[in-house]
């Protein structure tokens, strides 16, 4: 697979979900094998600080994923999710404002944006992150696991039954490519709970949120008149996970299994994948890793088969 950029510059504007202000992004082609680079041009357009795509550039995972410390850019995950599944490896992204616009709350507007810009194949090969042995992270009852596989697939489970009777324990498994992402994941909108809105707004979050860009669940139901998928909330969690893992800037070849994860665990897992790739285990350590994984999988009561 070759590295890719876009054919032409393209811009989108809209409200930001957290600070409630109008912001815009401009995506420009990049041909120098430098990866995806963000710039916040709102602060000082004559003094730009590049923010490289990396899990180590994450400054916050509080209700979204934010990059950069000096010139922070918030809510990058939906855009990254679309870039990931179109295999865009090289891009310059200029953000006029502190946040990526939420648009309709999904990744579909970014899908349309990429299609409009067109994709240009570059000469260099993509560096694919191939999962060759189990990698996992566990936090209380939450976990993410990567298993070897010849394709990119995700098994995701959630349980928000304490928040809404519409969101009991549920599982989705998908093998992902561009077409499947567009059809099954890209239109799933971000979601929240009516009981949390006042707290979020008191902390200057979700100030731009509305029924136009988010699903709002109550204890007994949902405020939105229509949903786009029968299980739209869990599909959006998959969308977020894809975006957060693309902080690595590389396509993944492996089966990702996630339970009750979120931005914080996603980013911690991306960092672990990075270090595991850098410090790839030698043959004599693999059996110990498999034994350790057998123990943790038994504790979590999960299957280590290729598919569920």
In 132-147, which positions are buried (b, 16+ CB within 10 angstroms) versus exposed (e)?
A: ebbbbbeeeeebbbbb
Query: Phi/psi at 295 (nearest 5 deg)?
Result: -65, -45
60/72 Cα distance (integer angstroms): 9
48/66 Cα distance (integer angstroms): 17
Token code pair at residue 35: 């990866």
Q: Strand (E) positions, the chain?
A: 2-6, 10-15, 22-29, 36-40, 51-52, 58-60, 66-67, 91-96, 119-125, 129-130, 135-139, 142-147, 152-158, 170-175, 191-193, 215-217, 252-259
Q: Using alpha carbons only, how large is the chain's radius of gyration in Å?
A: 19
Residue 263 among the catalytic residues? yes
Burial class (CB in 10 A: 0-12, 13-18, 19+), 298: exposed
Contact in structure between 195 and 201 (CB atoms under 8 Å): no
Chain position carrying tokens 């963000």: 38
Query: Strand, helix or coil at 303?
Result: coil
Catalytic residues: 263
């Amino acid at each position: 697979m070759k590295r890719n950029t876009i054919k032409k510059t393209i811009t989108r504007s809209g409200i930001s979900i957290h600070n409630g202000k109008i912001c815009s992004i401009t995506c420009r082609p990049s041909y120098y094998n430098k990866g995806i680079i963000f710039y916040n041009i709102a602060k000082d357009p004559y003094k730009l600080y590049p923010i490289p795509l990396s899990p180590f550039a994450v400054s916050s995972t509080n209700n979204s994923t934010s990059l950069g410390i000096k010139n922070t850019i918030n809510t990058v995950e939906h855009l990254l999710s679309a870039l990931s599944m179109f295999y865009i490896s090289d891009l310059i992204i200029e953000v006029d404002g502190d946040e990526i616009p939420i648009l309709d709350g999904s990744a579909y507007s970014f899908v349309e944006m990429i299609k409009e810009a067109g994709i240009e194949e570059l000469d260099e090969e993509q560096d694919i992150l191939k999962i060759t042995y189990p990698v996992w992270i566990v936090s209380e009852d939450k976990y993410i696991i990567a298993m070897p596989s010849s394709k990119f697939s995700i098994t995701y489970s959630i349980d928000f039954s304490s928040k809404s009777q519409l969101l009991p324990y549920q599982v989705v498994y998908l093998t992902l490519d561009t077409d499947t992402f567009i059809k099954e994941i890209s239109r799933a909108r971000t979601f929240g709970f009516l009981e949390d809105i006042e707290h979020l707004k008191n902390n200057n979050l979700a100030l731009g949120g509305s029924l136009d860009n988010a699903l709002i669940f109550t204890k007994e139901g949902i405020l939105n008149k229509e949903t786009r998928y029968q299980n739209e909330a869990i599909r959006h969690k998959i969308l977020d996970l894809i975006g957060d893992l693309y902080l690595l800037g590389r396509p993944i070849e492996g089966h990702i299994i996630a339970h009750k994860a979120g931005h914080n665990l996603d980013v911690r897992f991306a960092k672990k994948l990075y270090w595991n790739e850098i410090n790839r285990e030698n043959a004599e350590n693999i059996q110990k890793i498999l034994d350790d994984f057998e123990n943790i999988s038994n504790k979590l009561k999960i299957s280590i088969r290729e598919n569920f």
